[in-house]
Structure 1
Amino acid sequence: MSKTTPATVALTKAGVAFELFPYDYDPDAPRVGLQAAEALGKAPEQVFKTLMTLADGKPACVIIPSDCEVSMKKLAAALGAKSAQMMKPAEAERLTGYKVGGVSPFGQRKRVPTVMDETAVLFEQVLINGGQRGLLLGLAPDDAARTAEAALFDLTA
């Protein structure tokens, strides 16, 4: 496993301190974020998953706790859209340059509007995908939001 990904490069370039959290990725896990939290012995609400969505047909990135589901209604409202839906995995991979299960909000090929669940600020450190399957990055929520250019909203169902 490489410790250098477009995500780690982007964070380093931005001068953001982060910690690497490698874990054994299980491609058969029903919910990858929960599997990652369990593998690392972290609270699921502290481990955030990165989802690629479409808001009124335009791409957007959503960062929410691994034990939650995104509310498409709240997401659409946060992005000033009428509707929102999940992006197809192949489209997410093409747009971000990452494989599904390893999508990071940092260092994506193309910058898209990004929103993060407001509960991130409850933690000193949140864990977010590091740009490959089996690698999470631990960083301060403020640094994560600033580097991802993410606005904070209540996004969960």
Structure 2
Amino acid sequence: MDTTLHPNVAHVADVLAEHGATGRPHVFTEPVPTAAAAAEQLGVEVGAIANSLIFDADGEAVLILASGAHRVDTTRCATVLGVSSLRRAKPDFVRAATGQRVGGVAPVGHPTRLRTLVDVWLRAYPEVWCGAGEPSAVFPTTYDELLRLTGGTPAEIGD
């Protein structure tokens, strides 16, 4: 792991510390842009990876934290959020909403707090790993802490 932090990762680390989070970012020498890649590097089940996925909900950015073992059911999530539809956001939309790029989006550290759904399946893992602002960085947390940090709503997000 690299000890020099990209500014996005340093910002995520600061936000985590400010909110009393227990985990700190880990930076790998290679990007881990997918749940499978992160799980392999960490030696954990893919379900313990919380994918930070940004969706366009009628022009509003929403964050869905999905277990790496699940696909997001956009119809179900749109209903939970009370919006007409959800579309996977384009990279420019993601960067504008989060200040981070696809493949490394963290659940925290965005310019504004995003409406967030948190996959209830993540609670099955004592430790959950999330993106930390860049594709080569992750941090550990717990399901309960993730809810607290994001102000997210627990939800059945998919299959």
Out of 21, 25, 31, the residue aligned to residue 25 of structure 1 is: 31
In the other structure, the counterpart of 1:144 is 146
**Greater alpha carbon shift after TM alignment, 1-10 vs 116-125:** 1-10
Question: Unaligned 5+ residue runs, structure 1?
Answer: none
In the other structure, the counterpart of 1:119 is 121
User: Using the alignment, how far apart are the partners of 1:26 and 1:55 within structure 2?
Assistant: 27
User: TM-score, normalization: structure 1?
Assistant: 0.90
Structure 1 position 88, deviation (Å): 0.7
Alignment of 1:60-139 (within 5 A): 60-139=62-141
Report which of the two has the higher share of strand. Answer: 1
Out of 15, 20, 37, the residue aligned to residue 15 of structure 1 is: 20
User: Using the alignment, how far apart are the partners of 2:73 and 2:41 within structure 1?
Assistant: 26
Identity between Structure 1 and Structure 2 (%): 22
**Greater alpha carbon shift after TM alignment, 66-75 vs 145-154:** 66-75
Contact persistence 1:34–1:67 (CA under 8 A): no
Aligned to 2:122, the other structure's residue is in SS state: helix
* Structure 2 CA distance for partners of 1:68 and 1:11, relative to 1, 3 Å: same
Deviations 1:50-77 (A, max 9, x none): 0100123321011001232111011101
Deviations 1:91-124 (A, max 9, x none): 1012211121111111111211011101111111
User: Using the alignment, how far apart are the partners of 1:81 and 1:94 within structure 2?
Assistant: 21
Question: Unaligned 5+ residue runs, structure 2?
Answer: none
Structure 1 position 19, deviation (Å): 4.1
Contact persistence 2:32–2:137 (CA under 8 A): no
User: TM-score, normalization: structure 2?
Assistant: 0.89
User: Using the alignment, how far apart are the partners of 2:134 and 2:152 within structure 1?
Assistant: 20
User: Using the alignment, how far apart are the partners of 1:113 and 1:149 within structure 2?
Assistant: 8
